[in-house]
Structure 1
Amino acid sequence: MEEILLFILFALTTGSFMYMLVCTDSNSKSPMGMIRRKIYSNGPSILKQLLGNKIYIKLQQFYNYVFYTNNRLGQIAYFLIFWMAFGLYSKFGLLKHFGNTPYVSHVHSICGSLIFLFCNYFFYKTCTTSPGIINKENNNEYVMQYQQYYDEIQYKQNTQCSTCNIIKPARSKHCRICNVCVSRFDHHCIWVRQCIGQNNYKYFLLFLFSHIFLSLYGVVAGILCLFGIAQKQQLFKLTYKNAITGEIHKATFLRVFSVISNRETFFMFIIFVCLIFFVTLTAFFLYHLNMIRKDLTTNERIRKNDFEKSFLNEMYELQELEKRKKDDDLIKRLAQLKICWKSLNNRRLLGLFEGLRIIFSQPK
């Protein structure tokens, strides 16, 4: 049984890491960005050698199906993981120890269950609330709403979406998975099977926050339960005999932890799973808060990095050419690039509270 638990823990940890890796910008200078570039550049050739071409093609097809088609696998996986985790926590913790230890009463059973229901409610709202689909009827409204964001670099006026046959408002994007143009497009989320955009971004944030809060609640309540069990069984007052030397020792924290681990293996396992969820989701949530502070979407950050990389490469090449020869067209182009570079990096910070106010004031 311990081998199965370790495998599940490894699968959850690996899955969480891989999901964060998929969500990471490939141009990012962060450690995750560097790892993504290494994996995406060297991974395919290594997999081909290890698995063979046929299996590699099948894996590639499965990867494309999961992340680039509008399927329900993400929603199914969410229910399986989330409900199974809560079910195990209820069986080995909530129903067994809540109310039977000094520090966690039955009140916490009700509180934990209510938070669980809120998590499901915000998941439902994120799945069912339209992200802000742009069509011919509301096209002009969205164009006017984001008029100030046309910078003629990332967003150019009167650019037409060739698929929807409409003028693209600034900050919008045509999602090839959903096959619609979305206002203030952030990203397509496989867990909710639709895009995250102007109208459902607030529910997405609440979805993340509620799951973070439930995970943290589970970790803290679980640790208090274990501490209460140790006190109830007077494990800190016991003495332990060294099997080799015969010496008698007082109970240490590590010794008590070892005893509790053997007696409450399943409960400790699920507490650790909650901790993994908490760390992963918190990192993702903080990333989105930082984007809100900067008045950026995930899509804009990736595009901005792509533009900056392109401008830097071209500016470097032109500066090297300028050292060797003087040319009016070359100097003019270099000046244009420097203006574009300055425009990209002079965008004002909106501020976290102002950004959240705008997001949560969007119509239902």
Structure 2
Amino acid sequence: MIGPKEDLKPFSITLFILVTLEIIFVLFICPYLWYEVSYIIPMISLQLFIIAHFLMFLTMITDPGIIPRKEVFQAIGEIPDIFTSEGTDKKKFCKTCQIYRPARSNHCRKCDNCVEVFDHHCPFVNACIGKNNYKYFIGMVISLTLLGGMNIAGVILFIFYDGDTGRSSRSLVKNDTFLMAVAVVLALSITFLTALVFCLCIFHMKISMSGETTKEFRLNIKQNQSVAWFGEKSWFHPRLLIQSL
């Protein structure tokens, strides 16, 4: 289920950034929040961090909807009729897999597989996003957005809320100036990354409600077609259950 080796680098960088920012938040910001503000923010932040990475793991290991190639079908028996002719729905023939792929399926150049309801290939999780793992992907994006918002709120409280004791008294580092510098850099970093993830979250919420995939959305844009928030396509698996209005 894992993508090509060249995507291991962006995936590793993404994982490193997420883990590093959370560790800094927990070590330098959370002690003050826990004792002087509320333990709720550190607890929710940790829970969202775990949920987001669990969904990232599920996105990576779940079969996105890979369609076996012709030789695979032949090895296990016969090729189903749905993959042997274009039929009435004018299915496209994949020269690599040597099959007629179903509607809304596409061949991923990076993974070199045909994927059902292909959305896109995501190098940041090193996996194709398709029929079976889209729900985990969008759940991960939502969780990361909420995590970023929670951590931003925590850092703002750390900077502006004056508790009964100094910030350094609750931290491993006994230097308020250093802690404030860390908080400012952390706030800027998290805000920038959260803004990017938030835009991605809004985009996928939109195409989920309209019943499109990312590939279909891009194709419609290229063809100068207007895209409605609610379309005729809607389904429960793998996207949100939102019926056409």
TM tier relative to shorter chain: 0.7 to 0.9
Q: How does 1:128-143 map to 2 (within 5 A)?
A: 128-135=61-68, 136=70, 137=73
* TM-score computed with the length of structure 2 as normaliser: 0.77
Contact 1:139 1:167 in 2 (8 A): no
Contact 1:291 1:298 in 2 (8 A): yes
Matched, 1:279 2:195: yes
Contact 2:207 2:214 in 1 (8 A): yes
| Higher RCO structure, 1 or 2 (CA under 8 Å, sep 6+) | 2
Task: Tell me the equivalent position of 2:206.
Answer: 290
Please, what is the CA RMSD of the aligned residues? 3.3
Matched, 1:100 2:32: no
What SS does structure 2 have at the residue aligned with 1:76?
helix
**Structure 2: how far apart are the matches of 1:277 and 1:348?**
26
**Structure 2: how far apart are the matches of 1:347 and 1:267?**
42
CA shift, 1:196, in A, is 0.6
Report Cα offsets for 1:137-158 as digits up to 9, x if no partner: 5865689xxx99x4xxxxxx14
Matched, 1:109 2:25: no
Contact 1:161 1:167 in 2 (8 A): yes
**Structure 2: how far apart are the matches of 1:360 and 1:133?**
21
CA shift, 1:221, in A, is 1.9
Q: Which is richer in helix?
A: 1
What SS does structure 1 have at the residue aligned with 2:46?
helix
* TM-score computed with the length of structure 1 as normaliser: 0.53
What SS does structure 2 have at the residue aligned with 1:359?
coil
Matched, 1:349 2:230: yes
Task: Tell me the equivalent position of 1:240.
Answer: none
What SS does structure 2 have at the residue aligned with 1:160?
strand
CA shift, 1:88, in A, is 1.1
Task: Tell me the equivalent position of 1:79.
Answer: 15
Give the direction of change, closer, same or farther, for the CA distance of 1:139–1:220 in structure 2 (3 Å limit): farther
What SS does structure 1 have at the residue aligned with 2:102?
coil
Task: Tell me the equivalent position of 1:226.
Answer: 159
**Identical columns (%):** 22
Decide which of 94, 98, 101 is 1:165's aligned counterpart: 98
Decide which of 185, 199, 209 is 1:269's aligned counterpart: 185
Contact 1:183 1:197 in 2 (8 A): yes
Query: Aligned partner of 1:104: which letter?
Result: S
CA shift, 1:116, in A, is 1.1
Task: Tell me the equivalent position of 1:359.
Answer: 239
What SS does structure 2 have at the residue aligned with 1:71?
helix
Report Cα offsets for 1:25-70 as digits up to 9, x if no partner: xxxxxxxxxxxxxxxxxxxxxxxxxxxxxxxxxxxxxxxxxx9975
Q: How does 1:1-364 map to 2 (within 5 A)?
A: 70-95=6-31, 97-101=32-36, 103-105=37-39, 107-135=40-68, 136=70, 137=73, 150=89, 157-229=90-162, 232=164, 264-306=180-222, 308=223, 349-350=230-231, 359=239
Give the direction of change, closer, same or farther, for the CA distance of 1:222–1:198 in structure 2 (3 Å limit): same
Query: Aligned partner of 2:120: which letter?
Result: H
Number of equivalences = 220
**Structure 1: how far apart are the matches of 2:117 and 2:127?**
14
What SS does structure 2 have at the residue aligned with 1:188?
strand
Give the direction of change, closer, same or farther, for the CA distance of 1:345–1:88 in structure 2 (3 Å limit): closer
Contact 1:261 1:268 in 2 (8 A): no
Give the direction of change, closer, same or farther, for the CA distance of 1:89–1:359 in structure 2 (3 Å limit): same
Which sections of structure 1, spanning at least 5 residues, go unmatched? 1-66, 151-156, 235-259, 310-343
**Structure 2: how far apart are the matches of 1:225 and 1:348?**
39
Query: Aligned partner of 1:279: which letter?
Result: A
**Structure 2: how far apart are the matches of 1:290 and 1:219?**
25
Structure whose alpha-carbon radius of gyration is higher: 1
CA shift, 1:114, in A, is 1.7
CA shift, 1:301, in A, is 2.0
CA shift, 1:293, in A, is 2.2
Task: Tell me the equivalent position of 1:40.
Answer: none
Contact 2:64 2:129 in 1 (8 A): yes
